[in-house]
């Protein structure tokens, strides 16, 4: 069987507040629509101020992540990168801590995630309410 490559983009409206947006359903829908069976799914956010995380959600971990990022990267005027709202420079440091991509195994057409894991878009940039996420399957 020859390898297959499929890719698409999805638009995500994150609003003007820090947020964690669950992408798991969109990833699963893309895999189902594309007929993907075995391979790898890459989730990529082509933005300088957003990232992709794989963590538990629904039990407060998503809010804990935003709180931890706020502690590590405070929204103050200390940042050298100073266009946009106060503290926007910290948004440009975010991808060094929360990478703008994740590559995940696909088995039998489904993401091979742990029981409590979800694929999340992490967006702390209050100046850009709309994001693009690229999903690419190779298998």
Q: Give per-residue pLDDT as tens, 3-56.
A: 799 999 999 999 999 999 999 999 999 999 999 999 999 999 999 999 999 999
- What pLDDT shows up at residue 29? 98
Domain of residue 27, CATH code: 2.60.120.460
Mean pLDDT for 76-94 is 90
What are the start-end ranges of the H helices in 73-114? Answer: 88-97
> How many separate domains does the chain show?
1
Domain that holds residue 78: 5-138
Asked if residue 2 has pLDDT above 70, the reply is no
- What pLDDT shows up at residue 83? 87
């Amino acid at each position: 069987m020859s390898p297959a490559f499929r890719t698409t983009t999805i638009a995500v409206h994150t609003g003007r507040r820090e947020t964690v947006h669950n992408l798991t359903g969109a990833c699963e829908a893309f895999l189902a629509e594309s007929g993907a069976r075995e391979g790898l799914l890459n989730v990529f956010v082509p933005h300088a101020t957003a990232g992709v995380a794989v963590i538990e959600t629904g039990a407060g971990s998503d809010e804990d992540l935003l709180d931890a990022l706020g502690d590590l990267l405070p929204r103050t005027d200390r940042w050298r990168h100073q266009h946009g709202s106060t503290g926007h420079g910290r948004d440009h440091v975010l991808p060094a801590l929360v990478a703008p991509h994740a590559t995940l195994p696909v088995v039998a057409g489904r993401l091979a995630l742990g029981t409590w894991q979800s694929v999340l878009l992490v967006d702390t940039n209050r100046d850009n309410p709309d994001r693009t996420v690229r999903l690419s399957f190779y298998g």
